């Protein structure tokens, strides 16, 4: 029953997840009066029909007969993509920092830095609280 799932790299935990949920994350169930009603498991299913029940639940995880990506494979792929994105963002920040450092090393950058520092000093001098002398 699950041979093609194992051949596609699924784990036992993935099969348990597939028996409990649909690929979109909802619990297996049915529509009743327009409302999705989850149906937990094989409760009340005769042993003779259990194989059919398992196949029916696992079929939701097939696309035209081909096994889709398992929940574990999806998590691994998403984590790898997030790591690539994080590394790209870090590289962009590092490049920006290097551009800023190179820009500040120019004479124009140094004069802008000195002007900015002068503004900070003037502002802090104006706003410094005066000391009171007690007599």
- The string of pLDDT tens digits covering residues 17-39 is 999 899 998 888 877 888 888 87
| pLDDT band of 122, cuts 50, 70, 90 | confident
* Statement: residue 43 has pLDDT above 80: no
Q: Are 2 and 58 in contact (CB under 8 A)?
A: yes
Q: Mean pLDDT over all residues of the chain?
A: 89
Rg (CA), the chain: 32
What is the rounded distance in angstroms from the CA atom of residue 14 to the CA atom of residue 110? 60
| pLDDT band of 42, cuts 50, 70, 90 | low
Q: What is the pLDDT of residues 71-110, one digit of tens each?
A: 999 999 999 999 999 999 999 999 999 999 898 889 888 8
pLDDT of residue 32: 84
């Amino acid at each position: 029953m699950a041979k093609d799932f194992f051949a596609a790299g699924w784990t036992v935990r993935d099969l348990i997840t597939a028996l409990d949920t649909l690929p979109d994350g909802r619990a297996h169930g049915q529509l009743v009066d327009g409302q999705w009603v989850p149906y937990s498991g094989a409760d009340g299913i005769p042993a003779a029909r259990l194989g059919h029940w398992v196949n029916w639940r696992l079929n939701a995880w097939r696309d035209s007969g081909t096994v889709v990506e398992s929940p574990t494979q999806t998590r691994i792929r998403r984590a790898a993509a997030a790591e690539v994105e994080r590394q790209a963002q870090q590289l962009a920040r590092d490049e920006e920092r290097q551009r800023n450092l190179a820009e500040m090393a120019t004479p124009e950058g140094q004069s802008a830095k000195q002007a900015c520092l002068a503004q900070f000093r003037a502002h802090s001098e104006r706003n410094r609280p005066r000391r009171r002398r007690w007599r």
